[in-house]
Amino acid sequence: MNLKDKNILIIGGTSGFGAEVAKLALKKGANVQVVGHSQERLERFLTENTTKYSKLSGQAFDAQNLESLTSFFEKQEPFDHVISTLGGAMGGGFLDASMTLIRKTIEDKFFVNLQLAKIASKHLNQQGSLIFTSGSGGHPSDASGAIVGNQAINTMVAGLAVELAPNFRVNAVSPTWTPTGLWRGLTTTELEKQKKTFAKNVPLNRVGTIAEVASAYLYCMENEFVTGQVLRVDGGVDLQR
C-alpha cells in the first residue's frame, strides 16, 4: 500500500518507536496525528518536526482513560491505520513483585490496548489496520507481569484479525529491550551498561535501534496481505534459551 495521503494515528507517538514511525510515514506523504500523554513532550515533538512535515498534528491526553479516548475518536475522521505503543516494562518474578505492580503492568499492556481496539476498530477506513506493540525477551521469573501482558497482546492480535477480517487487518510489532524514552530515567553510563549487558544474550550481539523497530510498523501498514501476525524485531533474543 502506498501511504501517501493515508490518515495514520500513532498513540504514544511523541517519543521512541512512535516518533520514529511518525517521521517515516510523513516522509512517505502520509497525514500523521500523534497522541502523547505529556503536553510538554508533544509540543517539543511538534516544534521540532512541523516545519519539515506539514501533515503532522497532535494532541495530548491520557489515552488510557475511556472517556477521553472515546471523545477523541468521535471528533476525528476515520483513520487508515492506528498504531499503539501503549504499555511498559517491569522487573520481578511472580513471587518477588507486588500484586499491585503485576496487575498494573498487565492492565497497562493488555486491557488498555483491548479498550483501544474496541474503540478504534469502529473508526477505521475500509482495508485499514490496527498495529499494537508486544515484546520479546525476558523471562516469567524476572518480568512476570510484562510477559503475561505481551502474551495477551499476541493472543488478542490473533483473535481480532479473524473477528475484523476481511475488512480490516490487525498485527503487532514485538521488539526486545531497546534504548528508548522508556528508559529516560537512566544516566548515560547506566544506559550503556544496560546495552552491553543485554547484548550478550542476543545472537546478533547487539541491541536494536529505534529505526530498525520502527521500520516494522511501516511494513505492517504497507503489506496488505499480512494480518494476525506478531513481527519480532529482536535480534533472535529468544532463540538461545
CATH number at residue 13: 3.40.50.720
192 pLDDT more than 80: no
What are the two backbone dihedrals, phi and then psi, of residue 11, each rounded to the nearest 5 degrees? -90, 120
Q: What pLDDT, on the 0 to 100 scale, is given for residue 184?
A: 65
C-alpha dihedral over 137, 14, 61, 88, to 10 degrees? Answer: 10
Binning pLDDT at 50, 70 and 90, where does residue 101 land? Answer: very high
Q: What pLDDT, on the 0 to 100 scale, is given for residue 183?
A: 62
**Is 238 a domain residue?**
no
**Is 2 a domain residue?**
no
Measured CA to CA, the distance from residue 133 to residue 165 in angstroms comes to 20
**Is 240 a domain residue?**
no
Instruction: Count how many domains the chain has.
Output: 1
Determine if the peptide bond prior to 166 is cis (ω within 30°). yes
**Is 79 a domain residue?**
yes
pLDDT, average across residues 95-121: 97
**Is 86 a domain residue?**
yes
Q: What is the pTM of this model?
A: 0.94
Domain range spanning residue 63? 7-233
**Is 47 a domain residue?**
yes
185 pLDDT more than 90: no
**Is 223 a domain residue?**
yes
Binning pLDDT at 50, 70 and 90, where does residue 193 land? Answer: confident
